[in-house]
Amino acid sequence: MPTSEPHRVPGHRAAPLPVVDPATAEVFDEAPDQQPDTLDAVVDRSRRAWHRWRADPDARTTALLAAADAVEAAGDDLARLLTREQGKPLAESHAETARTAARLRYFAGLAPRTRRIADGRPVHSEIRWRPLGPVAAIVPWNFPLQLAAAKFAPALAAGNTVVLKPSPFTPLATRLLASVLATVLPEDVLTVVTGREPLGAGLASHPGIRHVTFTGSVPTGRAVAGAAAASLARVTLELGGNDAAVLLDDVEVDRIADRLFWAAFRNCGQVCMAVKRVYVPARLHARVVEALAERARTVTVGPGLDPDTRLGPVNNAPQLARVEELAQRALAAGARAAAGGHRLDRPGWFFAPTILTDVPPDSPVVTEEQFGPVLPVLPYRSLDEAVDAANGTGFGLGGSVWGTDTDRAAAVADRLECGTAWINHHAELSLAQPFAGVKDSGVGVAGGPWGLYGNLRPFVVHRPEEGPR
């Protein structure tokens, strides 16, 4: 399977989109930089393909199962290219390609249920489910394949076609994925477009698109919702998070420290539902800071393709600058770095895994989403104070509570204003569960059957009861 091909499509700008390896900061390949005026033809082909694709649910199931097999067969090539452009350790890229295949297989097996409703009158209503049309899927750079599949698998299973736009930082693995899927899916059922803005804005506002499903930051999510308003397309937004982990006074620090560390630092902290703030009872604070700092100081940081690496680089230069700025602002305001606090002196976009203590609670590294390898650990005196602080940002994606008495922890978790709460772990998801943020973290529901119905519309037929009248 080629990992690089000559990228020549009509409508791309003269200068292609360079793709940087974050482990070296060097350009290693390129992708087409398509312009918004190419979208008319793309969406038109997608609409034509939709009329065929929607007609045969059994053929869809067969094709999506074959798609899952094809992704697995190409897993090594996909994972290497993903690590090259995204930076994550190769083992995590393999896990991501496996989850991409798993999503295809899961949604291939789901079908909407036709229901009849009788209300005592001599008519009944039959509720059927119909696909929407071409769906625009716009995704970020932290999990390019897995998040794309979270959108296109349910959309395709529901009988829609999809135009998928990856981040300009990570277009290559997605293009390879599309070429793998093209061997088993009918033409134009899934189309990948790549390029800089305003390509995404053009896609979100395109009149032929009937559902815009977007994952990314809150400000871009607002812009996407505004763009889709022009055509009144359905909008699903999976946006940023600032998840708090609240440790209770009966927590066993040594038992949970590894799990807590990786809940914050997996994928270099670039996870929407990573732990981004830790609240600790004051008397345990120093122990928790030291347990996390010890792991931050000793974890192997390096290029994702190096088999010893557990933590790779930040994906891109603007994100590295943001992470550095947030850490420096906290340090300037009186915080202390128990580990890290600076860029690493090596090529590439590396930032030392950082544990911050003595952080002012109104510091932007606490109130905003850092999305990188920097974790503030804050002491609390009363549980009410901790819950208020956990709920005290505009975000509401996830949260977790950690303690030995899990019933008590669950009662505290019940008070968190978020879409998913975990006890003694964080960010674990099942394919079968709904996934939805509250407040600024999102609109609509993804995951499980809810994700399928999010790509369907009800169609109701009223008819008289059968039999003599």
Q: Which residues bind ligand NAD (CB under 6 A)?
A: 138-142, 147, 165, 167-168, 197, 200-201, 204, 215-217, 220, 223-224, 227, 238-241, 272, 369, 371, 397, 437, 442
Shortest distance, position 286 Cβ to ligand NAD, whole Å: 30
Measuring CA to CA, which residue among 201, 230, 212, 225 is closest to residue 155?
Answer: 212
Q: Starting from the edge strand earliest in sequence, which strands make up the sheet with 398-402, in order?
A: 336-339, 354-357, 374-380, 275-281, 243-247, 398-402, 420-423
Cβ atoms within 10 Å of 423's Cβ, excluding its own: 16
- Among the listed residues 238, 268, 324, 369, the single catalytic one is 238
156: three-class secondary structure by DSSP: helix
Shortest distance, position 142 Cβ to ligand NAD, whole Å: 5
Shortest distance, position 443 Cβ to ligand NAD, whole Å: 11
Residue 147 or 235 having the CB closest to ligand NAD: 147
Task: Identify whether 272 is a catalytic site residue.
Answer: yes
Residue 160 or 267 having the CB closest to ligand NAD: 267
Distance CA 189, CA 181 (A): 10
Task: Identify whether 92 is a catalytic site residue.
Answer: no
Distance CA 136, CA 118 (A): 37
- Among the listed residues 272, 324, 369, 418, the single catalytic one is 272
> CA torsion sign, 141 to 202 to 54 to 465?
positive
Shortest distance, position 314 Cβ to ligand NAD, whole Å: 11
Shortest distance, position 401 Cβ to ligand NAD, whole Å: 20
Residue nearest to ligand NAD (CB): 200
**Contacts (Cβ under 8 Å, ≥6 apart) of 158:** 112, 129, 131, 132, 452, 455, 456
Distance CA 274, CA 264 (A): 5
Distance CA 401, CA 390 (A): 10
Dig out the tokens for 56 from the structure: 């045969």
Residue 281 or 398 having the CB closest to ligand NAD: 398
Residue 140 or 373 having the CB closest to ligand NAD: 140
Dig out the tokens for 152 from the structure: 């296109």
CA 247 to chain centre: 26
Residue 239 or 280 having the CB closest to ligand NAD: 239
Shortest distance, position 138 Cβ to ligand NAD, whole Å: 5
The residues annotated as belonging to the active site are: 238, 272
